[in-house]
């Protein structure tokens, strides 16, 4: 019969041996891989009205309008030889005044009314040299009729009004929905347009 005290000593020795062995195993073992980080939440989807790509006026590099999602957007069809061409100055002033609050003016030169005959480079130089235009502008395109770009077809369908002349304006809210449209006679400093822009700027940016 084994002595009880001897059994205690034996059990302690076995426990120590097991502990040393376990420590050695832990030192040699490869630590488990850290769990993969959770994927970043996807950004807000690009609104359908801005889901278009246009060539930039200055260098004709493609630009997605999705980059303006969450901003208040004023879309304007422009021309260099029009009685309303002077509105470039007011549009630039409007852009400079409100851009830090989330407004962007987008200019789309068009020869649909036979008043924009120059090349993209000529248009860009005219806008910069004559009016100091800094707001984004895009290559010459069609804004009405069967040849209109997809953006202007959408705007005409949603508003019920295609541009009847140069410097027609469409206001798009932060949520990417059309707010209103304004005829050429509504200048950039019009109280109704400025008030509508300020109302849209006061809306929280969608998340």
Mean pLDDT, the chain, whole residue set: 85
Task: Decide if 133 contacts 92 (C-beta within 8 A).
Answer: yes
Q: Which of 46, 66, 82, 127 is catalytic?
A: 82
* Residues across the chain: 207
pLDDT by residue (tens digit) across 42-62? 455 899 999 999 999 999 999
In 54-189, where does DSSP find H-type helix?
87-98, 120-131, 150-159
Q: Is the pLDDT of residue 5 over 60?
A: no
Task: Answer yes or no: is pLDDT of 17 > 80.
Answer: no
* DSSP-derived 3-state class of residue 87: helix
Rounded to whole angstroms, the Cα distance separating 58 from 202 reads: 32
The pTM assigned to this predicted structure is 0.79
pLDDT value of position 80: 97
Instruction: Please determine, for residue 1, whether its predicted confidence score (pLDDT) is greater than 60.
Output: no
**Pairwise CA distance, residues 41 & 200, whole Å:** 26
Q: What is the pLDDT of residues 157-175, one digit of tens each?
A: 999 999 999 999 999 999 9
DSSP calls for 31-86: PPPPPPPPPPPPPPPPPGGG--EEEBTTT--EEEGGGGTTSEEEEEEE-SSSTTTT
Assigned CATH topology for domain 48-201: Glutaredoxin (3.40.30)
Is residue 207 scored above 70 in pLDDT? yes
% of the chain beyond a pLDDT of 70? 79
What's the CA gap between 15 and 170, in Å, rounded? Answer: 81
pLDDT digits (tens, 9 = 90+) for 98-111: 999 999 999 999 99
Answer whether residue 156 shows pLDDT above 70: yes
* Contact by Cβ (8 Å): 166, 113: yes
**DSSP letter at 114?**
S
pLDDT for residue 205:
84
Return the domain boundaries, the chain.
48-201
By C-alpha distance, which of 92, 47, 52 is closest to 70? 47
Catalytic (active site) residue 82? yes
Q: What does DSSP say about strands 72-78 and 103-109: parallel, antiparallel, or unpaired?
A: parallel
């Amino acid at each position: 019969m084994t002595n009880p005290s001897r059994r205690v000593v034996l059990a302690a020795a076995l426990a120590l041996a097991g502990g040393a062995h376990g420590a050695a195993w832990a030192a040699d073992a490869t630590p488990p891989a850290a769990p993969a980080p959770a994927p970043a939440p996807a950004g807000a989807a690009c609104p359908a009205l801005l889901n278009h790509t246009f060539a930039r006026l200055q260098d004709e590099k493609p630009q997605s309008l999705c980059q303006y999602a969450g901003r208040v957007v004023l879309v304007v069809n422009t021309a260099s030889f029009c009685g309303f061409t002077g509105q470039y100055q007011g549009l630039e002033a409007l852009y400079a005044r409100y851009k830090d609050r989330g407004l962007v003016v987008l200019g789309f030169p068009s020869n649909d009314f036979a008043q924009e005959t120059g090349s993209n480079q000529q248009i860009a130089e005219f806008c910069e040299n004559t009016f100091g235009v800094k707001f984004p502008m895009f290559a010459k395109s069609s804004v009405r009729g069967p040849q209109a770009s997809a953006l202007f077809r959408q705007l005409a369908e949603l508003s019920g009004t295609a541009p009847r002349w140069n410097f027609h304006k469409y206001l798009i809210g932060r949520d990417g929905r059309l707010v209103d449209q304004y005829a050429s006679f509504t200048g950039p400093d019009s109280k109704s347009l400025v008030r509508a822009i300020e109302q849209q700027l006061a809306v929280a940016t969608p998340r």
